[in-house]
């Protein structure tokens, strides 16, 4: 009997989540290194990469967290129910979806990138830098989708170590290659910001090859009989993945709208807010590691008809994520300078960033709870209501932000709206999961 079905919850969860948590450290190193290399090119390059960031975030969230969650959930439920052939068929269907998703990003960003980045405020040299980075990166979007889909297939089978090793290895390739191609180290050409994008695509290509090897040598390896396409298997992935993609879009839209609101208070306000948001984003990979372990464990138990155990697993994982976010949030709420001084010595930025931390950071545990339970719901196959909790957050943030702008309210009032959005997201998600009947999932 699989330990996912009968083993102690906490050790099994820790074993599945540990590789993802280590991977989060590598991903953080990549982010810091890329920002450093591009920063050496000047302010316009930094502004350019900032313009593209929301779309890169959307690319990753849809391919790894959203559709990836649908893939992991479908595979876990199939294997939990003892349907190995169905799991192998899902490999083929998932890769077809990945090809479609990657090509859609490529076509949309190549065709409408200039207009989109202009809408976000890009102009002049910053806009040209954004396009130089975007055209290369999204030209290779298919490789990103394939890598994240293969990772999700392996996680769905209970193997979280292989994708972590592959993606960590890719990070070790990306970090020096990005510096070499961006800044022209040694014999390498100096391609500027486009070099960072080339390194990004190459890294995901390397990860794709490594994980394709693992899938080919696992129980998921499809045979000729599994190549016939079936509509029900596409629906099995998309019923979770498509709705989850809406959630990813909401998250990015919320970030873009909030950035627009804060920008009206000036450059220092935007910088202080940006420092705070960066800390929230650094928590996401950690919560994602716990969440992806929950997708596997919950999905496998749902497939085996163990709905009550699936719920216990979900709440156990949520408690772990909340403890991590509590430690981070309350530390910076009481000592905001520990984080803000890393990025700025400007007194105004420090003051605004400290205000943001004191208002928003104490609610990070609810942010962690909402994200974790969202992933657990992916495993159950019941993701609509958690997505609607994200919709409620978006509506609150937009309505509250507009009200603050209309009344000429102070910047801290906008930070209160952001904090309330996190509370609504976490609280509503917890409520709908508590009420959900996973015996019928």
DSSP string covering 192-224, please? THHHHHHHHHHHHHHHHHHHHHHHHTSTT---G
pLDDT of residue 198: 96
pLDDT of residue 440: 54
What would you report as the CA-atom Rg of the chain, rounded to the nearest whole angstrom? Answer: 21
Contacts of 309 by beta carbon, 8 Å cutoff, 6+ apart:
5, 9, 301
CA proximity to 76, closest of 313, 368, 242, 367: 313
pLDDT of residue 78: 86
pLDDT of residue 252: 80
Contacts of 170 by beta carbon, 8 Å cutoff, 6+ apart:
147, 203, 204, 206, 207, 210
What sign has the CA pseudo-torsion 122, 124, 126, 129?
A: positive
Cα–Cα distance for residue pair 432/138, rounded to 1 Å = 36
Got the DSSP string for 7-21?
Answer: S-HHHHHHHHHHHHH
Mean pLDDT by 10 residues, the chain (441 residues): 78 87 84 80 77 84 86 86 88 94 96 85 82 95 96 89 92 94 91 94 96 91 81 85 82 79 75 74 82 85 86 94 93 87 75 90 94 88 87 92 91 93 94 85 50
Q: Is 326:289 a contact under the CB 8 Å cutoff?
A: no
pLDDT of residue 344: 66
Hey, how many other C-beta atoms are within 10 angstroms of the C-beta on 25? 12
């Amino acid at each position: 009997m699989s330990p996912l079905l009968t083993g102690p919850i906490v050790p099994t969860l820790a074993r599945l989540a540990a590789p993802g948590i280590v991977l989060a450290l590598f991903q953080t190193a990549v982010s810091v290194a890329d920002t450093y290399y591009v920063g050496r090119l000047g302010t316009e390059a930094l502004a350019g990469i900032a313009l593209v960031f929301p779309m890169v975030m959307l690319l990753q969230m849809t391919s790894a967290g959203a559709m990836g969650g649908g893939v992991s959930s479908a595979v876990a439920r199939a294997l939990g129910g003892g349907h190995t052939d169905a799991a192998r068929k899902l490999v083929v269907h998932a890769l077809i979806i990945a090809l479609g998703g990657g090509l859609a990003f490529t076509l949309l960003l190549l065709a409408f990138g200039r207009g989109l980045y202009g809408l976000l405020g890009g102009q002049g040299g910053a806009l040209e830098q954004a396009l130089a980075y975007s055209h290369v990166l999204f030209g290779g979007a298919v490789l990103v989708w394939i890598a994240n889909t293969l990772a999700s297939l392996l996680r769905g089978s209970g193997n979280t170590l292989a994708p972590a090793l592959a993606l960590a290895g890719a990070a070790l390739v990306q970090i020096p290659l990005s510096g070499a191609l961006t800044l022209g180290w040694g014999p390498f050409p100096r391609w500027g910001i486009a070099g960072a994008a080339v390194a990004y695509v190459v890294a995901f290509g390397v990860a794709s090859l490594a994980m394709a090897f693992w899938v080919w040598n696992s129980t998921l390896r499809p045979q000729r009989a599994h190549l016939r396409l079936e509509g029900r298997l596409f629906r099995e992935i998309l019923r979770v993945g498509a709705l989850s993609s809406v959630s990813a879009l909401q998250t990015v839209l919320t970030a873009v709208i909030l950035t627009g609101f804060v920008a009206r208070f000036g450059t220092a306000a935007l910088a202080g807010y940006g420092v705070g948001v960066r800390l929230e984003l650094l928590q996401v990979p950690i919560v994602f590691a716990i969440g992806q372990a929950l997708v596997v464990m919950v999905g496998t138990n749902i497939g085996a008809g163990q709905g009550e155990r699936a719920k216990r697993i979900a709440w156990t994982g949520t408690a772990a994520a909340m403890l991590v976010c509590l430690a981070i949030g309350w530390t910076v709420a009481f000592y905001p300078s520990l984080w803000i001084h890393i990025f700025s010595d400007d007194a105004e930025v420090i003051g605004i960033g400290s205000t943001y931390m004191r208002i928003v950071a104490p609610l990070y545990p609810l942010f962690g709870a909402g994200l974790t339970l969202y992933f657990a719901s992916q495993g159950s196959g019941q993701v609509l209501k958690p997505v609607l909790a994200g919709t409620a957050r978006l509506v609150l943030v937009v309505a509250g932000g507009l009200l603050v702008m209309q009344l000429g309210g102070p910047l801290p009032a906008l930070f209160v709206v952001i904090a309330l959005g996190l509370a609504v997201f976490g609280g509503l998600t917890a409520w709908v999961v508590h009420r959900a009947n996973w015996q019928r999932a």
